[in-house]
Chain A
Amino acid sequence: MPSLPSRIIAIAERRLGSIDAYYGPVQPLIDGYRDGQFFAQRIRTLSQTKGDEITVILQMLHQIKNTVTVVHGARGCAAMQNYLESYDGHGSPVFSTNLTEDNSIMGAEEVLRKTILAAVERHKPEAVFVVTTPIVAINNDDVQTVAADLGEELNIPVVPIYADGFKSKTSANGYDIAYHSIAGFLTAEKRATDKKLVNIISSDGSEEDVHKIAELVTSIGLNPNIFPRFGLLSAIRNSSNAVATIGLKPDSRVIGEFLEKERQVPYYLLEQPVGPEATSRWLGEITGKTGNKSEALEFIKSREKKKFDELVADPDTNLSGRKIYISGDIYTAIALAGLVKEFGGSVTGLSIANIDKNSVALLDENYKKNGWPFNIHIGDGQVFEQANILSRDTPDVYLGAAGQAVHAARLGIPSVNYAPMPLYGYDASIKLIRAIVRACSNRSFVEKLGSYTSVYNRSSWFGKNPNWYIKQEVG
């Protein structure tokens, strides 16, 4: 009877105990999640902008082929399409219902309806995604009904994605919201298991990396079924017939667990195949999990390792003695930490976007293995906190994703933005290693930046503990 619950998924804070604010030792964090407990919520009393559920969802939907996305909200909620379309290119069209004040008061179901109709008329997509935003979350437009009616009328899936834009503090919650709807609207019943078919969940990252994954999977005799990004809707429909689902990051969990529970396709979240060791382990895991006995595997491992060793002989890939600070989502950050170690460098600090009851295990494992002496920072963006930390830690190089590296560089620290670089596979990450070496060896640009004026009141802020504005939430 009540169909309301089916359209929503609880926010990451309540579902997974997700935390996005912390600075301090690793151990209390790990202890906080013991015995099914959640680490106590923290809030920031001073914060900077960051991605949210909507931005995460839009970057993902933009690369699902033969679809259109309608952002139901004010025009600014879709502003980033200018970035996606002009830098990423060849993505799916993005529409905005471009709501006005009047719409925000009177409701805008009719505007949504007209926009969806026009989008379908123009592009004849196989499916339409409707992304909700704060205005419609507050005026309570009945998006569900509009979507259902038009889905029937147009005979294609019209998939509402209830992003709202203010539900969770964790932007990755956007993936969960999107996959929750994708699972419900776009997957199909299982026909028969195809023993060679492996689902690869591509929520973000570069197209190059996704192709590399496909290549790796193919090399051991399996067929990759890649979705949602760079994939077709048929791949999503076909996912129920796969022998396994491989997630590269925890953002795949909702769709992976759905396929496991509802379509009996086992889901495995594996470490990222970054660098030779991790890639060999990754391939080994997949052959094991799919029951695929690939004779090719050992051959590939030794061949690639040999090729790789030749590459590493190059002095431009030596990180020994280099202290590196890494920022990113926890899976990527830990994969990069492993890579840095493999090339002789050491990690001086980690800043991760968020942590929850699931990903804490990865942190625990690596903490035990490496015995990190440093405090861990949890924050998406929040470059003011990072600036404070970096003023103490003084790493040789800062590794961060887009938009963050520049702020470390402004402190005079050599910085590398790894986001646009290929990382997966045996040797792709060599480019990143070279970039790190390059950043260390020619510091002229960052030195210039570091001597330029700062936006922070350094004497006051850098004297305080970086966790000064992170407070435990009370009732």
Chain B
Amino acid sequence: MAKKATHIAIYGKGGIGKSTTTSNISAALAVMGYRVIQVGCDPKSDSTSTLRNGDFLPTVLDTVREQSQLKIEDISKVGFAGVLCVEAGGPLPGVGCAGRGINSAITLLTEMKVFEEFKADIVLYDVLGDVVCGGFAVPIRNGLTNRIYVVSSQDFMAIYAANNLFKCVAKYANSGGALLGGVIGNNLYGSHAEELITDFTQKTNSAIIDFVPKSLVISQAELHGKTAVEAYPDSKEAQKYRDIAKKIISDETVTTPNPMDGLALRDWARGWGDKILKERTNAVFTI
């Protein structure tokens, strides 16, 4: 009997840094000695690029074009510290159905027994978190993954996306869907960021995993096509990701989130907006 890997999905609004976060976590886990697979579930297909020096990687869905006998090498590349990089792929913007794409890509990976054959300890799915249609919810449903994490900045739009995702998790909670591990604050700046996200998690029965501040080190590593864990292993950022990785792999605590409804979320956001504005205005007056 093949050992079973832990499957984890990481969601977040587009552009919020979820691929950066996921790749750094993958890298950190791999350095710790785990066998890691990272599956990018975004039609942009760039989730794993910082793990594989931006090398070309055919996507899983490219092979939906009926290549009958597929090998794992055809759709994956071993990247930094042995992380197996896989990109689900998807259509060009404006055509086809990216949601069905995620569904078929994951089906294909399961059919090919990629997780078993690679003897993975952990599989990380990096999923576009604006859950626009049912396809993007596939990693949550049917017990495919053990836990879900959400990456969010203090930006309200990111929080909205997180709240939407919570709705999705709550919907499938009673039918064997994955539950929520917690929220990873990312790309944070300013004095209220941590407080705001913490407040959101408290209001929605979710947990904070950690906070990653906005950092030049991370962006610089990325510009060199690498994760911070690889490029600057001694940095405090790398240490931060190693902490998060440790927590994700060892702490199995999950919650069923209790998302806010539209009005409550608006009022909550307004409350915070007023507060921040007021303090900023006061600050102006004090100059």
Contact = CB atoms under 8 A, between A and B. Distances in A.
Given A138-B99, A138-B100, A473-B65, A145 B143 contact: no
Given A8-B107, A38-B68, A140 B135 contact: yes
A107 B175 CA distance: 17
B146 A140 contact: no
B142 A3 contact: yes
B134 interface: yes
B134 A141 contact: yes
A475 B7 contact: no
A41 B64 CA distance: 12
Contacts of A138: 97, 99-100, 135
A473 B67 CA distance: 8
A378 B279 CA distance: 75
B282 to A, nearest CB: 46
B168 to A, nearest CB: 11
A1 B176 contact: no
B243 interface: no
A148 interface: yes
A66 B191 CA distance: 67
Contacts of A8: 107, 110-111
A14 B68 contact: yes
Contacts of B110: 2, 4-5, 8
Nearest to B5: A1
Nearest to A167: B104
Given A2-B144, A7-B142, A142 B65 contact: no
B97 A13 contact: no
Nearest to B111: A10
A110 interface: no
Contact of A38 (B69, B138, B142): B69
A137 interface: yes
A475 B68 contact: no
Interface in A149-180: 149
Contacts of B143: 1-4
Contacts of A13: 66, 68
A475 B75 CA distance: 12
A111 B3 CA distance: 39
Nearest to B115: A2
A139 B111 contact: no
Which of A2, A13, A473 has its CB near the most chain B CB atoms (within 10 A)?
A2
B141 A142 contact: yes
B106 interface: yes
Interface in B95-142: 97, 99-100, 103, 106-107, 110-111, 133-135, 137-138, 141-142
A475 B67 contact: yes
Contacts of A38: 68-69
Given A4-B144, A140-B135, A145-B176, A17 B65 contact: no
Interface string A431-468: 00000000000000000000000000000000000000
A142 B172 contact: yes
B7 A5 contact: no
B7 A1 contact: yes
A1 B115 CA distance: 13
B142 to A, nearest CB: 5
A13 B106 CA distance: 17
Nearest to B104: A167
A253 to B, nearest CB: 17
Nearest to A168: B66
B134 A139 contact: yes
B33 to A, nearest CB: 22
Interface size on B, as a range, is 20 to 34
B4 interface: yes
A453 B138 CA distance: 52
A37 B68 CA distance: 10
A2 B2 CA distance: 13
B155 to A, nearest CB: 28
Contacts of B111: 5, 8, 10, 14
Contacts of B67: 41, 473, 475
A410 to B, nearest CB: 33
B269 to A, nearest CB: 26
A144 interface: yes
A103 to B, nearest CB: 13
Nearest to B107: A8
A163 to B, nearest CB: 14
Interface string B1-39: 000100100000000000000000000000000000000
B250 to A, nearest CB: 18
A40 B57 CA distance: 23
Contact of A475 (B62, B99, B144, B172): B62
Contacts of B142: 2-4, 7, 142, 144-145
A137 B103 CA distance: 9
A141 B99 CA distance: 12
A291 B142 CA distance: 44
Contacts of B133: 139-140
Interface in A1-53: 1-5, 7-8, 10, 13-14, 17, 37-38, 41, 43
Contact of A3 (B69, B107, B146, B176): B176
B69 A2 contact: no
Among B7, B68, B69, residue most surrounded by chain A Cβ atoms (within 10 Å): B68
Contacts of A17: 68-69
A1 B175 contact: no
Centre residue among A13, A38, A41, A142 by max chain B CB count within 10 A = A142
Given A1-B4, A3-B142, A14-B111, A148 B66 contact: no
B78 interface: no
Contacts of B65: 473, 475
Nearest to B110: A5
A234 B141 CA distance: 33
A145 B137 CA distance: 14
Given A41-B68, A148-B175, A475-B65, 19 more contacts: A2-B142, A2-B143, A3-B144, A3-B176, A4-B106, A4-B142, A7-B142, A8-B110, A14-B68, A38-B68, A38-B69, A137-B103, A138-B97, A138-B100, A142-B134, A142-B142, A142-B172, A145-B175, A475-B67
17 contacts: A2-B7, A2-B110, A3-B142, A4-B138, A8-B110, A14-B70, A14-B111, A38-B68, A38-B69, A137-B100, A138-B99, A140-B99, A144-B141, A144-B142, A473-B67, A475-B62, A475-B65
A-B pairs with the 3 shortest C-beta distances? Answer: A140-B134, A145-B175, A5-B110
